[in-house]
Amino acid sequence: MDFQKLLLDVGKALSKDEVKALSFLCTDILNRNPTCVESAGDLFSRLGDKDHLSAERPYLLTELLIIIQRTRLIRDLGLSDRASETRSLISPYRTLLYNLSEEINDAELKDVKFLLNNYLPRRKLDENVSTLELFLEMEHMELISDNNLNLLETIFQSVCPMLNVKISQFKALQGKRQKNNLFANLTCKNKDGEPSRHRRHGWIYSVSSCFLDLDANVFHGGDDCVALSHQLSGLNTETSPCASLDGHCKCRAALGIYPMTAAKRGICLIVNNYNFNSDSHQKREGTILDEECLDKVFAWLGFVVEIKRDCKSEEMLSVLRELGSRNHSLMDCLVCCILSHGKEGCVFGVDGNHVPIKELTKPFNGLNCTSLADKPKLFFIQACQGTIEQKAVNICTDGPARSDDSIPSDADFLLGMATVPSFVSFRDIKKGTWYIQSLCQNLVQMVPMGSDLVSILTKVNADVSQMTKSVGVRKQMPQPAFSLRKKVVFPIPEAPPPSLPH
């Protein structure tokens, strides 16, 4: 009865258009025309009859509400904790069509219908026919399908070219799935002749284990980087068919791009520690400006921004673990920004206790957060990594030093550090930190150019280096370390970029 009451409450909260959207998303599950669905209650009953929705299995409801961006309704009804890490029931193709429909305005829809005059009956192009209904008719006439979107691309090229970016990203995702299926069907034998436990993601596990064995200096640049290629070339081919770069498999696929097709890009968590209880750490004046800029930029990029302020060390860990326990299956990636005092390999809570950076990234590795597997996890750390510094007017630093390895030991991570080990990072008490301000400015300038994230961070390195020289202090050099396997390219937002301080 409680679950039925919950479904009733959801139905009352949804508009007619939202019910139609949910019905459209469930087309493949119900195996029938969604126009037959009369109400939210009717839809939920049909899903229940097919054992897709029940008190024991409410996951589909949460997934549907996330897709149509009714996240507040999820929170209000206490559904957020019900999310599952099981495979999504809604196909990426169906989600793509819904997301495309949300981006088409009335004028553009008229143009689309005009271009379809030679393909569809005129009554199917009436003014009252919605975008989703139009897509359904195109499917019915076999004009589009999950592996044939050519006509849609041709039409969008004339009406709204930006939408073809979403289709291209969807195609990239489909290609990735096909490759994964190919790897899944390969039998990898271990030394005892038994199939490998890591068959599906064998090469990912091999590269990850290689990272565990590497000295941290490999990621710090210089001649030691040569060690990385030696480690990779020595991977045992018995672990994975593609483990050895020069092995018999000879995988030479071009560097791909992580798919970015979800309605929401992902969660962007900002942990901003300003007011420290410890006598050994001063207030981090200027950090509020960093928080505001990060909030504006990542919201512009399509992220749902969450902000936590003045966290003790245990609170920081708790916040990250809770975020890692969520279902990210309908998200493209994760961003986490830590603004605090720090020392090498660690950041401080406001209680003065340190937290190893590896403990902050651990909740999101492939074993602890399966819904983020194969997706980029991006961490930006504004904190000192040592004590070496020189005087500067109106400049504060973010903390003292101790050696520790901070590189995440799993695939698909990027760790953007404000400075290299043993050095301080600098914070202007009026303008914010050099690193975060440069990061935000370059994201705003370079994302619309189609630049990938590593290229953007390279520009950040150059800018911060020039800034430090110009005010006469010891050079600060940011340090990106990563185990990314593809390029991170954010889709170009339709909204104008946010205004940032200069």
Active site residues: 341, 384
User: Cβ–Cβ contacts within 10 Å for residue 333, how many?
Assistant: 24
Residue 397 β-bridge partners: 426
Contacts of 291 (CB under 8 A, 6+ apart): 270, 272, 307, 339
Range 68-102 burial, b when 16+ CB lie within 10 A, else e: bebeebbeebebeebbbeeebbbebbbbbbbbbbe
The answer to whether 474 and 468 are in contact (CB under 8 A) is yes
Pair of tokens at residue 174: 């489909």
Tokens representing residue 324 in the block: 């890692």
Looking up tokens 């961003």 gives 335
Length of the chain equals 502
Closest CA to 343 of 422, 430, 267, 401: 401
Question: What's the rounded Cα separation, in Å, for the pair 167 and 31?
Answer: 24
Query: Computed over its alpha carbons, how large is the radius of gyration of the chain?
Result: 25
Residues in a beta bridge with 304 = 267
